[in-house]
Structure 1
């Protein structure tokens, strides 16, 4: 278990959001976190899992070669 534990501020910076977003993820139990006394830490692997689970792949359209006139 060689995971780096990040603060809410660090997670927000990594995700490019305000601190409110990771705090909401914690409150809604949508991300794994660890309580160390009164501090909340999020494992880096949990952030990577969250990103992977919410990544939307692009749709690949096949060119048909035929175009309809409007």
Structure 2
């Protein structure tokens, strides 16, 4: 298993978010992370899992052909 680990700053850049947002996710235990001594590391796989969990599928809107009142 070859997993890449990122620090908080790199994870924020990967997600295109702020460092503060990533730190809040960690503090609220909303994302998996690894402690390496005093350091926090996030795996790219865990970041992808987090992003996919937030995926919202598009809704198909059916047009009835009538006019709105």
- Answer yes or no: same fold by TM over 0.5: yes
Matched, 1:9 2:43: no
- In the alignment, structure 2 segments of 5+ residues that lack a partner are none
How far is 1:67 from its partner? 2.7
- Give the structure-1-normalised TM-score: 0.87
Query: Using a 3 Å threshold, how does the CA distance of structure 1 residues 51 and 69 change in structure 2: closer, same or farther?
Result: closer
Report the counterpart of residue 54 of structure 2 in structure 1.
54
Q: Deviations over 1:14-39 (max 9, x none)?
A: 11111001111111111111111111
Aligned positions, number: 69
3-state DSSP class of the match of 2:41? strand
Report the counterpart of residue 41 of structure 2 in structure 1.
41
| Structure 1: 4+ residue segments shifted above 2 A | none
